[in-house]
């Protein structure tokens, strides 16, 4: 998934990522990104082609960081149930630096075109997390077909509640709720 970027492209992506997350995609123009990156608009377009592609690159980079953290947490666990709940543990730490909530949910709210390249990244990230829950739950012998979706809803809701409802305890509460759900789920 990772592509090699020139130092200039990496700087553009870092600046764009900070600005998009802090202020929103539509609120940040390429003029601002170029100026704060110390490059020309032409360089920005040469490296990314369009603002839409830069948005998709921003989301891919964030997705790569998120997946790496979650995957490492899952692989660090030997207990099957703890593996299934690892994304919640990661979420608690992740939200410390994510005061605006989920970058993917925020981007989804702004990207109204289904064919926007960022939408495919968002769809893939959410599908990946649900599939991860389903895989790990199956390995743990949990048979409720709705449990992976229930965990996804708890996980996503915790991010939204933490940021939008100013409830910083939401990830911790969601983790406890996930443990309770998993604890009472039918097993094979």
Mean pLDDT of 62-90: 96
- In which residue are the tokens 């965990």 written? 151
Number of C-beta neighbours around residue 157 at 10 A: 15
Average pLDDT taken over every residue of the chain? 94
CA 72 to chain centre: 15
pLDDT of 132-171, one tens digit each?
A: 999 999 999 998 989 999 999 999 999 999 988 888 899 9
Q: For residue 109, what are the CA distances in angstroms to 83, 105, 143?
A: 31, 6, 33
Do 38 and 21 contact (CB within 8 A), yes or no? no
**pLDDT, average across residues 77-106:** 92
Q: How far apart are CA 155 and CA 90, in angstroms?
A: 11
Domain at 7-183, CATH homologous superfamily: Tetracycline Repressor, domain 2 (1.10.357.10)
Instruction: For residue range 4-13, list pLDDT tens digits in order.
Output: 788 999 999 9
185 φψ region: left (φ > 0), alpha (ψ -120 to 50), beta (else) = beta
**pLDDT value of position 16:** 98
Dump strand ranges (E) for 24-179. none
pLDDT score of 17: 97
Cα-flanking dihedrals φ and ψ of residue 87, to 5°? Answer: -60, -30
Q: What confidence score (pLDDT) does residue 4 get?
A: 74
Confidence of residue 176 (pLDDT cuts 50, 70, 90): very high
């Amino acid at each position: 998934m990772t592509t090699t970027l020139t130092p200039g492209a990496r700087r553009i992506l870092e600046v764009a990522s900070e600005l998009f997350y802090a202020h929103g995609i539509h609120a940040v123009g390429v003029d601002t990104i170029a100026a704060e990156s110390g490059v020309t608009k032409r360089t920005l377009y040469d490296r990314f082609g369009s603002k839409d592609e830069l948005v998709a690159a921003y989301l891919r980079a964030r997705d790569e960081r998120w997946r790496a953290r979650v995957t490492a947490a899952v692989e660090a666990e030997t207990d099957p149930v703890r593996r299934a709940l690892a994304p919640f543990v990661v979420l608690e730490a992740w939200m410390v630096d994510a005061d605006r909530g989920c970058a993917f949910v925020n981007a989804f709210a702004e990207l109204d075109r289904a064919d926007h390249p960022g939408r495919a990244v968002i769809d893939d990230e959410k599908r990946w997390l649900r599939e991860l829950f389903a895989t790990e739950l199956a390995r743990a012998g949990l048979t409720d077909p709705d449990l992976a979706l229930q965990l996804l809803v708890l996980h996503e809701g915790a991010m939204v509640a933490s940021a939008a409802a100013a409830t910083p305890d939401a990830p911790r509460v969601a983790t406890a709720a996930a443990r309770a759900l998993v604890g009472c789920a039918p097993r094979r």
